[in-house]
Structure formats: C-alpha cells, structure tokens
Amino acid sequence: MASKKPVVAPSQTAIHWLMVTLTIIAIPHFFYQPVWVALIFLLMMSWRVMHSWRGWLLPADKRLLKVLHSISAVLTIVLVFYSYGVTIGRDAGVALLTTMAAFKIVEVKSLRDYYLSCFMGFFLVITHFFFNQSIPIVILMLVNVILLTSCLITANETDSSAKNRVKQASIMVLQATPLMLLLFVLFPRISGPIWGLPNDAMDIPDSLPDTMTLGEVPPRNSAISGMSDDITIGNISQLTQSDAIAFRVKFENNQFPDRQNLYWRGPVLWHTDGKRWLPLNEKQKKQDQVVQLHVTGKPTSYSITLEPHDRRWLFALDFPTTYPQTMQTQLTADGELNSREAIKQRVQYQLSSHHQYQFNPEMDGYLGYGLNLPDDRHPRSQRLARDLVEKSESSEAYIESVLDYFRQQNFSYSLTPPALRGDTIDQFLFETRQGFCEHYAASFTVLMRAAGIPARIVTGYQGGDINPVDQILTVRQRDAHAWTEVWLPNKGWIRIDPTATVSSNRVDFGIGDLLPAERRSPRAIANNDRLVEMWQSAKNNWDALNSAWDMWVVSYGPERQLDLLKKLGMQQPDWQKMISWLAIGIALIFSWIAWTTLRLKSASQDKSQRVYQQFCAKLARLDIVRQPHEGPEDFAHRAQQALPAYQQQIATISHLYLHLRYRGDAVEEAFFDSVKQFKPQL
Amino acid sequence: MTQGSTDRILHSINAVILGKQHAVKLALSCLIARGHLLIEDLPGVGKTTLAHTLATTLGLRFQRVQFTSDMLPADILGVSIYEPEKHQFSFHRGPIFTQLLLADEINRASPRTQSALLEAMEEQQVTIEGESYPLDDPFFVIATQNPTHQIGTFPLPESQLDRFLMRIQIGYPDHQAERALLIGEDRRLMLKQLSAEITPDELLELQQTASKITLSDALIDYVQALLAYTRQTGQFYNGLSPRAGLGLIQAARAWAMISGRDFVIPEDVQAVFPSIVQHRLQAREHLQSADWALEILQQVAIP
C-alpha cells in the first residue's frame, strides 16, 4: 500500500459552493463594519472567481503572488488594529475573522484548506449572535449552518445534485438537534464575562438617564466622545420618541395591579442647580442609613426581564419588598434597587412588591438633602409657595393647594412643550404652563422644598402594555416617567404624581393614547379599522413570540436554568449535577445511535455470515486475522498454511460458506455444525 | 466438458508461453467473456505469440495486421473495386473478416485507422458505401500496444480504450521460465505443431455456459461497493462506469468457470479487477498503475 496519501484537491463545485456560502454569511456583517472589510472580502472572492473563470493564478501558483498575499493579509491585520485600536473584542474580532476567511479562500488548494475554511465559516456564523439575538437572525444562522454542512458534503461527494446535498445537510443538522437542546438546557450557566457574550455585544439603546434637565438638551448626535456623560444623555421627553423595550414583566398568576399602581421605580434625584437634577453621589449613598419599612396588604410577585442599559439600577414596582436572589442586589436608603455590576446583558430577576407601605415614617437621614434649593433661583415660585403656605393649615393642606394650583391655572400636558430658557421653573409655572412629567415633577418638588417639606424626584416608568396573547406587560422607553415623593412625619415618603393631576389619562390609559396615531399603526392603514385591528393582533403575536424567545432562549441564564431544572424534578441543581446529567444524556444519545447502526448492520447480515464471523474470530485468536478485503478462499488458504493440522476442517468450512453465500445451495446446519466443532489450537 | 476443455487449452498455451499462467488465464477469460483484449507491453515479451497461441488452440481463423502510421481504414476493412467485366463494384474483404484479429502495435496507426477498427469491433459489422457486411461470430480482437511513452505512437483515447474488456501486461518471465525458454524449442516451430483443442462452436458453448454462472446478491453487493469506492474516493477523475461494472461481472464469471466453479466468489472479482479497471480509471496524481488497482481492492471490505 502506498505509504503517502495523495493530496486530494476539493472539486471546483465544492469551492464555488463554499464561496457562495461564506458570502451569504458575511453580508450581514458588512452593515456593521467599515467599508474596507466588505471591499477586502469581495476582492478576495473576485480573485478566486477570476481563477475559475479566466484561469488567473492563485498565491500557491507563483511565489510573487504568495508573498503579495501574505503581505496584504498582514496589512489587513494592521488596518484592523489601526481602526479599532485592538484586534480582539467584538467589532475588531469580527472584522479580522471576516477578512481572514476571505484571504483563506484564495489559498484553498487541498481538502485540508477547504475544511479549515468551512470551520472559519462556522465561527463567522456564531459572531452574528454578538450583534443581534432575534429570531430572524437565528433562522439565518440555521440556514448558514445547513449551507456549510452541505459544503462539507460537497467536498466528499460530487455526484449528487445540489438539492440532494442541501437535503442531506438539513437532515444532519436536524439529527444534531437533540444533542444541541441537551447541551443548551444542561450545560452549566455561570454568570460572568467569560461565559456570556462580550461586553460590547449588546447595543445599548436609549435609556433612562440618572439626571434630569429641564429645557434644552443638546441633540444626541452632537455628542463627541470625551464630553461628560450627562450631556450625551437625553432627558425624559426625548425618550418618548423611542419604542425600544425597557423591560418585560410577567406577573405571577397573571394578577395585574391597577394601572394607578404601575409605578416602576428607578433612580431617585435629589440635588438641583435650578435646571439639572442629580442623584446622591456615591459618598452620600454610602452613609449608613437605616431603612424602616412597614407594609400592609398582599404582595405582588413578578419577574422582570430587563434589557441592558449599562447602568446598575434595576426597576421594581413601587415598593419592592423582596429582592432578586440571584444578583447581588441592594436597596439604597433612598429606595433605589441596585445591582452590583452594570447591566450589560439582558437579565431576569424575580421579586415582589407591596402597594401599601410606609417608608421611613419616623426618620430619614437624607431629609436635609430633600430641602435644598439653589440660592437666588426661582423667586416667583418661592413667592407662590409662601402665599400658599400662609393659606394652608397643615402640610397635607399645602400639598393639596399646590395640586389645586396645577388644576386651576390652565396647565396642560404636552409631549412637545415650548422651549424653556432662563429660570425654567418660574417660566414653566407662570408662563408656558405646558409640560411633560418632568416639568411637573420638578416644579412640584421645588414648591414643596420652598415650603419646607422634604421632597425628591423619582424617575422610572409608568404603565406599560399588556399583550393579550401571552399576558406579558411590556414597558417601553416611551413609558418613562418622573414623579415626586414628599416626606411627612409619621407617614414617611408618599408618592405624589402631579402629572396625574393635570392629565389623568397619562396614568389611567398609559402614554400610548397620547401618542400620535402614526406611532400606533402604519399611516397607510390608519383609516381602515379592520386593518388596524389585524395589524394590532399580528403585532401582539409577534411581540409574544419575541418575548418568549428573549425570556426562554436568549436570557436563559443561571436563574432560568435552575428554575427549569427544579421544575424538571432535579433537587438542588448545581453544576456538578448538571455535568453528570449532561454526560448521561450524551451517553444515552450516542448509545442510541450506536444501537440503531449496529442493529441495521446486523439485520443486513444473515446468520451464515455471523457464523462465519465466529469462524474468523476463532482463527483470529491464533493470530490468523482475516482482513476485511480478504476473500473467504484466500483466507482459507492462508489459514491452511498456518495450521496444516486443520487443513481438512478449514477447507470444509470455507467450501460450505462459499456455497451458502455465493451459490445459495449448501445446508446451513452442516456449516453451523462444522464451525461449532472447529476448535483450532497451535 | 467445460472444465476439461478449458484445462486443455490452458495447458497447451502454457506449454508455449512459459511462466505466465495468470496472464494466460486472464486472456482466456477475456475471450470467454466475449471481450476484446488489449495487451500492453514492451516488444519481445511474447504478445504476438500469446495471441497466436490463443487463436490456434481455440481453433479460430487468425489474421494478423501490423499497424503502421501510413495505414488507411481500407487496409483493415476492405475496399470496393470496380470490375469492368461485370460493370459493377465488388467488395474485397479486408483482414478484419476473420475470427481472431491480432492488431499488432495498434497505437502506431493514425487515429483515423484506429477508430475504423474500433467501430467495427463495437458494431460487429463493417459498413462500406452503404453496404453492411457482418463480421464472423465469434469475433475477437487482440490488440497489442507499446507503452505510450515510446516515440511514434498515437495513444488510444479513453473512449476507445473502453471498447477493450481487459488490458493485460505480460512482463518479463521469471528466472526459471526464462531459462526454460532459452534452452527449449523454437517457439515458432512449436506454434506450427500446435493443434486446436476445441472448435469455434464449442467456444460459443463455453461462452454460453460462462454467462450462466451463478451470481449471488452478496457478490453483486461487493461489485457495487467497488464501483462506489472508485466514484467517491476522489483519487480518480471519474469513477467506473456501469459498463465497466458489467464487464467486471462477465470477466469474473468466465474466471470462475475456468477455475472450475459454477458460481462466482469475491476472489474471482479480485483476480480480474486490475485488468478491467487499469485502462478505464485515470488517477489524479500519477500513481503506479499496478499498485493502485490493488489498493482499491484493499480499501473495500467484502460485504
């Protein structure tokens, strides 16, 4: 036998097939990446195309081209480094992988190169997940995997048609699905950067800021890196432009609280310079503060799937009483629920809240901050506060009179309020009187503090849409809201939403009703009620599908895994148990495969063949091993030479077997008996 | 009768051609399987002697044509000549109208002449100026060919090589056989003394018997496994054709019959396999042809 295996080249069909597949895989990346990535990719592909079409030389054909090829590959790496500053991380890594896969394709000469290109293709498929985890992308990835598998098939089998190869690849991918599901469910999920997606994997959408600015906010596009954070962040009214999802809520037993109670707490703002509002700084937050919480009534339990917002806070229904177990969460003394790390991936947490509560009714360490107002600002507001205080007998009466002021003085709720300049609070309270929640919350807080009542602004979300299909409440960025909390002795912090006083619809029906019609359904069908209805129902179903996908697949993390395994009956699941179950599952799948293949094989062998195998096995014990390609007669001759004493027996057995198998006329029993009696010894 | 007659034939040929039992048996199988035979080897190893011996022992009428580069198709097939007395053309049969034609050094002739012969082989008839003249039955061609790297040769194209059931090589005799040859009688004299062992009718009967040799499903599985391997391995530009598969079975049957069996076993297939496939498969890398045919056999397990 030849000692050296010949170098086998993949067929032209296989190479073309792979080129098409790689291009299909790479195209979505071109949208995220600089133009030169696409250019290099297409340049290399064209080179290979010209090789097939016009016989252009490839790098392997000429030394000069080989050097040129290597130099451009190195230059590309330098270019990646130059563009991104690094060669690892999501964007740089994907750019590198995309271009190198293209460089490899012109190098493909042997079957080994071909396989390498295919495997690079598989890696490239995975990287789609770094940019997008939606259902359409997963379908695209599945198609890519099937195409790559058919490339591997094509390299080994050129006879069958393209349709058959794709069909075979689909069957193979389908056969791999049980193993995939097993690994997905059981492979231990550990929260942490190594096990998750890269840190920059999620595109962080607009989200709730932790400052609030009244009046003009610089447009987002003008943000230049290096400028301070709070300038690049828009204020709440800008958020109403965004339909992006903030988080999804699944209530236990689908028991929804009243809309009036759907206040989702976020950052709490204390400090103001008259225009901007800021939270307590880290040092102030760290002060040891005692939190006193008295609750009455039944708690509401729910789980939240939070989209990444790159901040630490978690949203909770006012007011959270049990906190998520799986994250290292902590409730600050001003009622913010914070995670230890910034939320860079979609997370899920379970908690419960009470709607009736008293928060720090006796004492609160931050009361001093709740009274601060900038000196020499808002003179007209201060005067109004003094007037109203004189007329009121108690703090409660004062609060009521301020709310009456909002009701009676022709204030209105507007998503597009007039721009404020100068002293924003005074201008809003006495001139424009059109505003959004943040205007009302801010001016109400100023009026409270001016009267000596501790007050703070709570930002977060209010309301949300319940999808009738899956009973999941979706809270979007446009539901962003700001309200006020005032502290009254023996009552603690009380939530007062001045916006609700002015526009009760905002709270009763959610912001959806206040949005212009074209944001609710496409303009083209807006006039046809039936079409709008159908569109709504299709949208609900699609949203429900996406919610299920996000909650069960994309954010299937440690918590979901533990939860699911408990439901499946595993007691106290830990990673050791998961690994052992995984091993058992894989062993089961493989033994099933082995069993079916063996059964198929043995079914195709008739009994005479099995008995002949016994005969061969008997001789194999004496080191006379039959090669698979060795015919029975040749083997018999060899055995006879090795065992002259058994010449006659071996001749009889092989004669009977040959007649049985190739002539079909010998007596089976005679053959079986002679094999049984055959007991060779050296 | 069959066993005795084939043994006698082999015996008389082996008396002339020394130490080449395997090649002789292959050549006989080829003729019994109704195939044409191509012998490729260096000059002087006994190609012509083998053809001549076969013809004589089988009792066939024998014609020999020495191919040259200036040969025309008419030199083989025959020619129509106008006869003034009869006022008509009459066909003068060429050397192809015989039972066994030895086409010596076929690759020295121009492609045009080669294809005239090969066409006649395929059709079993000669057509000249609209008139068809059937060839004899049995009709065999034994062509000899010099290795193609010698100068002044026109290698046969693949499609025409396919017309030959087998291509065999004779090779140098071994030490013992060569000594016997050198000491022994003049081969040409021996040829003259040789007599026919069977009649052409008996040969047709042998062919009939061979085509009825039992072929089990298990053996067809093996043949198919071999064919599939040549198509999937990637070592060859094209795998074996179904025609090659049919030829393999025919030859294996003839081999089994000559070996004295009325059924085919894998060893029969293995014995004829190299001579059937060597001229039909083109290896991608330049492989020593004798080796790779055996390598295929070693790669395919007997089911």
Interface probe for B, chosen from A12, A629, A665 (most Cβ of B below 10 Å), is A629
Indicate the pLDDT class of residue A194, thresholds 50, 70 and 90. Answer: very low
Within 8 A of A7 by CB-CB distance, chain B residues are 285
Per-residue pLDDT at A148:
94
Interface probe for B, chosen from A660, A663, A665 (most Cβ of B below 10 Å), is A663
Residue contact B214–A628, C-beta within 8 A: no
Strand partners, A23: none
What is the distance between the alpha carbons of residues A107 and A89, in angstroms, rounded to a whole number?
26
**pLDDT single digits (tens) A515-525:** 665 566 666 66
Per-residue pLDDT at A672:
87
Nearest to A245 by CA among A513, A467, A568, A517: A467
What is the distance between the alpha carbons of residues B128 and B131, in angstroms, rounded to a whole number?
5
pLDDT mean across residues, chain A: 81
Residue A249 lies in a domain: yes
Residue A70 lies in a domain: yes
The shortest CB-CB distance from B216 to any of A156, A632, A664 is to A664
Per-residue pLDDT at A360:
84
Indicate the pLDDT class of residue A605, thresholds 50, 70 and 90. Answer: low
Is A393 in the same domain as A426? yes
Q: Which residues of B106-128 are buried (b: 16+ CB within 10 A; e: fewer)?
A: bbbbbeebbbbbbbbbeeeebeb
The shortest CB-CB distance from B219 to any of A7, A659, A662 is to A662
What is the distance between the alpha carbons of residues A665 and B216, in angstroms, rounded to a whole number?
11
- For a pLDDT cut of 70, what percent of chain B falls above it? 96
- Per-residue pLDDT at B252 exceeds 90: yes
Q: Which residues of A392-429 are buried (b: 16+ CB within 10 A; e: fewer)?
A: beebeebbebbbebbeeeebebbeebeebeebbbbbbb
Per-residue pLDDT at A200:
53
Per-residue pLDDT at A467:
84
Is A381 in the same domain as A256? yes
Residues whose CB is less than 8 angstroms from the CB of residue B213 and which lie 6 or more positions away in sequence, other chains included: B253, B254, B256, B257, B261, B262, B263, B264
What is the distance between the alpha carbons of residues B116 and B72, in angstroms, rounded to a whole number?
9
Nearest to A671 by CA among A617, A611, A627: A611
What is the distance between the alpha carbons of residues B263 and A8, in angstroms, rounded to a whole number?
38
The count of structural domains within chain A is: 5
Indicate the pLDDT class of residue A443, thresholds 50, 70 and 90. Answer: confident
In this structure, which amino acid lies at residue B203?
Answer: L
Strand partners, A78: none
| Per-residue tokens: A474 | 């979706």
Interface probe for A, chosen from B231, B267, B269 (most Cβ of A below 10 Å), is B267
Within 8 A of A631 by CB-CB distance, chain B residues are 265-267, 270, 302
Question: In terms of DSSP H, where are the helices of A487-574?
Answer: 498-502, 504-508, 517-520, 529-548, 558-567
Residue contact A156–B235, C-beta within 8 A: no
Q: Are strands A480-488 and B62-66 parallel, antiparallel or unpaired?
A: unpaired
Is A339 in the same domain as A481? yes
Residue B168 DSSP SS3: strand
What is the distance between the alpha carbons of residues A141 and A129, in angstroms, rounded to a whole number?
9
Count the neighbouring beta carbons within 10 Å of the beta carbon of residue A379: 10
Which of A363-372, A394-403, B148-157, B286-295: highest mean pLDDT?
Answer: A394-403
Residues whose CB is less than 8 angstroms from the CB of residue A616 and which lie 6 or more positions away in sequence, other chains included: A625, A626, A635
Is A377 in the same domain as A471? yes
Structure-derived torsion over alpha carbons of residues B253, B259, B263, B267, reported in degrees to the nearest 10: -80
Is A159 in the same domain as A280? no
Last residue of a domain, one of A456, A489, A512: A512
Is A485 in the same domain as A527? no
Interface probe for B, chosen from A109, A612, A662, A665 (most Cβ of B below 10 Å), is A662
Strand partners, A225: A227
Residue contact B231–A159, C-beta within 8 A: yes
Nearest to A536 by CA among A547, A521, A549: A521
- Per-residue pLDDT at A95 exceeds 80: yes
Indicate the pLDDT class of residue A219, thresholds 50, 70 and 90. Answer: very low
Which of A459-463, A510-514, A553-557, A570-574: highest mean pLDDT?
Answer: A459-463
In this structure, which amino acid lies at residue A304?
Answer: I
What is the distance between the alpha carbons of residues B8 and B13, in angstroms, rounded to a whole number?
9
Residue A353 lies in a domain: yes
- For a pLDDT cut of 90, what percent of chain A falls above it? 11
Per-residue pLDDT at A229:
31
Per-residue pLDDT at B250:
93
- Per-residue pLDDT at A488 exceeds 50: yes
What is the distance between the alpha carbons of residues A478 and A635, in angstroms, rounded to a whole number?
83
What is the distance between the alpha carbons of residues B202 and B200, in angstroms, rounded to a whole number?
5
Indicate the pLDDT class of residue A460, thresholds 50, 70 and 90. Answer: confident
**pLDDT single digits (tens) B42-101:** 878 888 888 888 888 988 888 889 988 888 888 888 888 888 888 888 888 888 999 999
Per-residue pLDDT at A193:
46
Is A152 in the same domain as A284? no
Residue contact A662–B291, C-beta within 8 A: no
Per-residue pLDDT at A571:
75
- Per-residue pLDDT at A86 exceeds 60: yes
Residues whose CB is less than 8 angstroms from the CB of residue A40 and which lie 6 or more positions away in sequence, other chains included: A76, A99, A102, A103
- Per-residue pLDDT at A2 exceeds 50: no
Strand partners, A467: A472
Residue A202 lies in a domain: no
> What count of CB pairs under 8 Å joins A to B?
62
Residue contact A662–B267, C-beta within 8 A: no
| pTM for this predicted structure | 0.56
Residue contact A9–B265, C-beta within 8 A: no
Q: Which domain holds residue A548?
A: 523-554
Is A31 in the same domain as A59? yes
| Per-residue tokens: A627 | 């090669």
Instruction: Identify the weakest region by mean pLDDT among A101-110, A543-552, A645-654.
Output: A543-552
Residue contact B285–A627, C-beta within 8 A: no
What is the distance between the alpha carbons of residues B245 and B252, in angstroms, rounded to a whole number?
11
Indicate the pLDDT class of residue B217, thresholds 50, 70 and 90. Answer: confident
Within 8 A of B302 by CB-CB distance, chain A residues are 628-631
Within 8 A of B291 by CB-CB distance, chain A residues are 2
Per-residue pLDDT at A169:
92
Instruction: Specify whether the CB–CB gap between A403 and A498 falls below 8 A.
Output: yes
Residue contact A658–B265, C-beta within 8 A: yes
The shortest CB-CB distance from A663 to any of B231, B263, B300 is to B263
Per-residue pLDDT at A102:
92
Is A449 in the same domain as A310? yes
Instruction: Identify the weakest region by mean pLDDT among A5-19, A37-51, A632-646, B110-124.
Output: A5-19
Residue contact A661–B214, C-beta within 8 A: no
Indicate the pLDDT class of residue B150, thresholds 50, 70 and 90. Answer: low
Instruction: Specify whether the CB–CB gap between B271 and B294 falls below 8 A.
Output: no
Indicate the pLDDT class of residue B231, thresholds 50, 70 and 90. Answer: confident
Per-residue pLDDT at A121:
94
User: Which one is predicted more confidently, B203 or A236?
Assistant: B203
Residue A207 DSSP SS3: coil
| Per-residue tokens: A6 | 């010949």
Query: From the CA atom positions of chain A, what is the Rg in Å?
Result: 37
Residue A20 lies in a domain: yes
| Per-residue tokens: B55 | 């013809």
- Element spanning B101, H or E: strand B100-104
Is A368 in the same domain as A236? yes
Residue A206 lies in a domain: no
| Per-residue tokens: A353 | 């809240």
Nearest to B206 by CA among B198, B218, B196, B214: B198
| Per-residue tokens: A654 | 């092989």
| Per-residue tokens: A148 | 């790559």
Instruction: Specify whether the CB–CB gap between A201 and A310 falls below 8 A.
Output: no
Residue contact B263–A662, C-beta within 8 A: yes
pLDDT mean across residues, chain B: 86
Residue contact A156–B284, C-beta within 8 A: no
Which of A213-222, A287-296, A357-366: highest mean pLDDT?
Answer: A357-366
Within 8 A of A632 by CB-CB distance, chain B residues are 265-267
Which residue in this structure is represented by tokens 């990346």?
Answer: A29
Strand partners, A348: A305
Count the neighbouring beta carbons within 10 Å of the beta carbon of residue A151: 26
Per-residue pLDDT at A558:
75
Residue contact A631–B218, C-beta within 8 A: no
Is A538 in the same domain as A503? no
User: Which one is predicted more confidently, A393 or A507?
Assistant: A393
Residue A183 lies in a domain: no
Residue contact A662–B216, C-beta within 8 A: yes
Residue A1 lies in a domain: no
Strands across the sheet with A492-496, in order?
A: A316-317, A263-269, A455-462, A480-488, A492-496
Mean pLDDT confidence for A341-365: 82
Instruction: Specify whether the CB–CB gap between A673 and A660 falls below 8 A.
Output: no
SS3 readout for A469-487:
CCCEEEEEHHHEEEEEEEE
Residue contact B216–A9, C-beta within 8 A: no
Instruction: Specify whether the CB–CB gap between A99 and A76 falls below 8 A.
Output: yes
Which residue in this structure is represented by tokens 């029969």?
Answer: B268
Mean pLDDT confidence for A86-94: 75
Instruction: Identify the weakest region by mean pLDDT among A81-95, A208-222, A433-447.
Output: A208-222
Indicate the pLDDT class of residue A234, thresholds 50, 70 and 90. Answer: very low
Q: What is the DSSP letter of A28?
A: H
Within 8 A of A634 by CB-CB distance, chain B residues are 267, 270
Is A540 in the same domain as A642? no
Residues whose CB is less than 8 angstroms from the CB of residue B48 and which lie 6 or more positions away in sequence, other chains included: B64, B102, B104, B144
How many separate helices (H) and strands (E) can be counted in chain A? 24, 21
Per-residue pLDDT at B264:
93
Mean pLDDT confidence for A335-353: 82
Q: Between the CA of residue A598 and those of A272, A603, A629, B168, B303, what are the distances in Å?
A: 77, 8, 20, 41, 15
Q: Between the CA of residue B262 and those of A384, B210, B254, B265, what are the distances in Å?
A: 121, 8, 10, 10
Per-residue pLDDT at A164:
85
Per-residue pLDDT at A227:
26
Residue B78 DSSP SS3: strand
Mean pLDDT confidence for A206-231: 45
Instruction: Note the Cα A6 to chain centre separation in Å.
Output: 46
Nearest to A191 by CA among A345, A351, A337, A350: A345
Which of A218-222, B30-34, B230-234: highest mean pLDDT?
Answer: B30-34
Phi/psi for B126 (5° steps) reads: -115, 135
